[in-house]
A = this chain, B = another copy of it.
Amino acid sequence: MMDFPTWMAAIQARTESALAQCLPAPATAPARLHEAMRYAVLGGGKRVRPLLCHAVGEIFAADGGRLDAPACAVELIHAYSLVHDDLPCMDDDVLRRGKPTCHVEYDEATALLVGDALQTLAFQVLADHGATIAMVALLAQATGSRGMAGGQAIDLAAVGKTLTVEELEFMHVHKTGALIRAAVLLGAHAGNADDKALLQLAHYASRAGLLFQVVDDILDAESNTATLGKTAGKDAAQNKPTYVSLLGALHAKEMAADLRAEAKEALAPFGDRAQRLHELTDYIADRRF
């Protein structure tokens, strides 16, 4: 069995290639829009959601080829959300994955359409590659107003306010948790998981999603912009509540340790088959950018 860094690099490479294939060619009209869509998606990103999708698929010995479409779909939704999140009327950010954000490199109207079209493409990729209607429903639920988009609305409303830890968790369950849950469950669907396994993995995803966010908050507070490839210290600068601002760095780190343990505990029923998912959970907890 290859070691984890090799496996991770292989999944990232196959995801990059699958994304490049499902995005319209840069010469296809309208060329500028397609070029900007490729700019926003390709050549960057940790691909955490595709990694989750593939790691879950390994539990069920799912064929990698069946996992590429759901992996691309969740990554396309993630990419669309970043493009819209960076717009001047939202977070107004200029740097993403070490490059100028989409509206800085192109223009605001193009970035708006890029996000719109990337969302559509996510559903098209699912529909064009053998997904079931249940998988489409799952992605839609995670993406819409009762999922990710709803989380962004809650985030907007929270700027400058003091939230309780419960309110902060409610926001993150939507903003990042819903799509991480979709990545996990789409991988399980592609592997024909039964209802019991889906329930267990939904529990795993709830812990892993929160873990991802707490670590993100710690990194935003403690790293610099060059390391992150996006603007560091942004949350504090924008007066956004984070786990670090609410709990302090020490308690945020304790919370991350607890969540990691709970996430891994949720994988116990899968035994060795969940090895990649264990390793990926550790990577999410230990990452430095």
Chain A residues at the B interface, C-beta cutoff of 8 Å = 24, 28-30, 32-34, 37, 80, 84, 87, 89-90, 107-110, 112-113, 115-117, 119-121, 123-124, 126-128, 131-134, 136-137, 139-141, 143-147, 149-150, 152-154, 156-157, 170
Contacts and interface: CB of A to CB of B under 8 A. Distances in A.
A33 to B, nearest CB: 4
* Number of this chain's copies in the complex: 2
B136 A123 contact: yes
Most B CB atoms within 10 A — which of A117, A121, A147?
A117
A156 to B, nearest CB: 5
A122 to B, nearest CB: 9
A153 B120 contact: no
Nearest to A121: B144
Most B CB atoms within 10 A — which of A33, A119, A121, A153?
A153
A141 to B, nearest CB: 6
Contact of A124 (B24, B89, B107, B141): B141
A37 B153 CA distance: 12
A120 B133 contact: no
B117 A115 contact: no
Contact of A117 (B33, B144, B170): B144
B109 A145 contact: no
Contacts of A87: 112
Nearest to A87: B112
A32 B157 contact: yes
Contacts of A137: 124, 127-128
Given A116-B84, A144-B124, A149 B90 contact: no
Given A120-B145, A127-B137, 7 more contacts: A28-B146, A32-B153, A33-B145, A34-B145, A113-B145, A116-B119, A131-B133
Contacts of A132: 133
B89 A112 contact: yes
Contacts of A120: 119, 140, 143-145, 147, 149
